[in-house]
Structure 1
């Protein structure tokens, strides 16, 4: 069997799922949830699986050509999820061709060293970073990068996708979803400890740093509009459902997709330990400049935000979703959110890390979220992500999905 035959076989199975009635119904439920509507059954989803430690016949690539092998890996992983721990995951009824971009130098490049490696084969590791943002003079290296469409790479992607999905699914150009994680990058250029100390000792310098990153993101957003490469039909925004009735789905081959047509997402995970006032001063007021240009916004990731909801509410008039993590007080979060936002609950991945489901605390976690959201009429969802390891036993992901759905069946009422 040659490489194309391998890919066509995988694409055929993918197509049957993509065009099924069950799959086509899921985005409608996402749209209802994002109204927001507390009567919608909470979706259950798994993302960011530790693929590098998962080895079996279903996932093992066979293609020899590098480009075909890369597509094969993507298809095999998608099909593995759909077969085993799908939950409420949906795939698009067309074959998406991601537009390729070339981005020029903006003055900095992360310099790091891995300090602790995983023992299970997972790609997750600990890092140390070289401080490149030592003082104001260091910031003078910053420049706005050139951003352009890489026509050759985009054409190569289109040609291969056509060969694989011809006669199965229509092709559609995929775009860029806005994900503006300034405070994920700044610690990699300055160091986490340095960032925390300088917020207190050198506040003006840190304002200059975040202003630099905000200008970078504003430039990126403007260029994406000019190039017409923004994504107007996202199913997911960093692991959470993004389908909505409130934003248009446009064909970028025929229409201009603008910032006001799309979602924007940001967070400041490193601010888990800072006060609400400092969080607002050094992130939210800058993020507001980006969110104000967009149609809808989603804030948060792994940082606890239960005591910062009022600041989010004040800053972001188009806010629709808020991430609430295991380190947050979900009762306080739901009390503060009410029925104004979707509570995107990120479940604790430690409960699957040993290769078996630690069921008692995992079920208690889900029950606690359901009770808090029911009391406040808060729409919610359950997302398992940031999964560093499953002890090389992927079955635990299916067990987790089944447990959450069983708990929802017993405890959730619209």
Structure 2
């Protein structure tokens, strides 16, 4: 039960977020994102995402609310306000407030055994915040240890020529009644302050080799390329069909949502674009209205030829069903870019901390968003102003001539010094002024 005090706290925070969202600077930032994502400007965009470090910014003991639903709402409001007031990057504060529908799935299974987190995990996608874990939950614990793992398909089972056909694809699980109860609470608390949306899934992701490695294990997956290539392809064909069908189920059930605005996109950045226009009254949502994303960072040590054969060819077919696509995560795509750029609707490409930025600039140009990821250890393990400035200046100089965005992410700790995020943002603005004028 949400108390009067909790209601007052949430509504006051909601009003502050609404004030921030209506500031003129926020409209300027929205326009920059639209031009940036539509490839109409080379003006850089700054995205500073605390991610795991959010637990050190909006700490559990700072929350007033005790009710579980109220705690999540309070935490999210405080995080969004903190981003706008303190971090002050180019991600605008927004009036939109999502009440997420309760959607999950059964995961992949075989003979009654289920894959570990085949599609779902604890993280959620929050507009203007990105991907986060449920830091507001009283029972949440940030686990830094390795998880026990047993492959769904053993080496002995890979000798079975029919093993791929025994895989059972995921089915959507939707708690409609629970979702409706959540909506009533969100509307009652914030409906007259923010634009409350009853929101389905906005993040269409094909974590291609992550799924395969959860079925076979990482080391096994690399051996399969040589020991069981035909079996591997047979399994991948089942995964391709099952992956797409999972999202088709969500689409048919009305559980997919437009993601052409402040929704998290790929592995950094947001979906603002005019190239995926909003639906008009009477229009039916299709895959072509949506962003989708794929990555196979587990193949970082695999050759471009094998990456194409076992990953990108499949991912390209999956992504081609959608309107625009993002590709890549922490892996260096420098030598794999020709195949990535052949994805029909590619619009955002991740440039990892280990990539040759100048080489990727020469290949990508203005063909897609240049999603540059600086090494997060430079900020999470301390603060060397001269080193950070030198590194940032080099990234921007080498990336100039692209639709450049600089995304600070994978910051799973900040050493309990959150102001480093603001320092980093301010430093990026200074570097932009020097490199771009």
TM-score by length of structure 1 reads: 0.89
Q: Select the residue among 360, 363, 369 that pairs with 1:333.
A: 360
Q: Does structure 1 residue 42 correspond to structure 2 residue 62?
A: no
Match of 2:176 among 123, 145, 151: 151
Q: 2:394 aligns with which of 347, 368, 391?
A: 368
Shift of 1:150: 2.3
* Residue aligning to 2:417: 393
C-alpha offsets along residues 300-350 of structure 1, whole Å, 9 cap, x if unaligned?
010100111111122x11111100011111111111112211110111110
Native 8 Å contact 1:305 1:324 kept in 2: yes
Please give the alpha-carbon distance, in whole angstroms, between the structure 2 residues aligned to 1:79 and 1:37.
Answer: 29
Matched, 1:164 2:170: no
Between the aligned partners of 1:211 and 1:165, the Cα distance in structure 2 is 45
Aligned match of 2:116: 110
Is 1:12 matched with 2:36? no
Q: 1:210 to 1:147 in 2, by over 3 A?
A: same
**8 Å Cα contact 2:17-2:95 kept in structure 1:** no
CA distance in 1, matches of 2:295, 2:20: 33
Judged with a 3 Å threshold, the aligned counterparts in structure 2 of structure 1 residues 212 and 364 are, in CA distance, closer, same or farther, namely farther
Q: 1:345 aligns with which of 356, 367, 372?
A: 372
Structure-2 change in CA distance of 1:228 and 1:360 (3 Å): same
Partner of 1:22 in structure 2? 25
Equivalent residue for 2:94?
92
Q: Distance in 1 between matches of 2:58 and 2:175?
A: 34
CA distance in 2, matches of 1:216, 1:70: 32
CA contact (8 A) 2:269 2:407 kept: yes
Structure 1 gaps of 5+ residues are 113-120
* C-alpha distance in structure 1 between counterparts of 2:407 and 2:214, whole Å: 26
1:232-276 residue CA offsets vs partner (Å, 9 max, x unmatched): 14423143121111111237x964211001111010111111111
1:217–1:77 Cα change, 3 Å:
same
**Residues 43, 217 of structure 1: CA spacing in aligned structure 2 closer, same or farther, 3 A cutoff?**
same
The 2-side partners of 1:311 and 1:94 are apart by: 37
Contact map agreement 2:42 2:404 (CA 8 A) in 1: no
- TM-score of the superposition, structure 2-length normalised? 0.85
- Rounded to whole Å, the distance in 2 between the matches of 1:56 and 1:148 is 31
- Where does 1:273-288 land on structure 2 (aligned, <5 Å)? 273-288=301-316
Q: Aligned with 1:265: secondary structure?
A: strand
Instruction: Give the direction of change, closer, same or farther, for the CA distance of 1:141–1:60 in structure 2 (3 Å limit).
Output: farther
- Gaps of at least 5 residues in structure 2 are 119-140
Alignment of 1:72 with 2:68, yes or no, is no
SS in 1 for 2:288: helix
What is the CA-CA distance between 1:189 and the residue it aligns to?
A: 3.4
Q: Does the CA contact (< 8 Å) of 1:348 and 1:362 recur in 2?
A: no
CA positional deviation for 1:360: 3.0
Matched position secondary structure for 1:129 = coil
Matched residue, 1:116: none
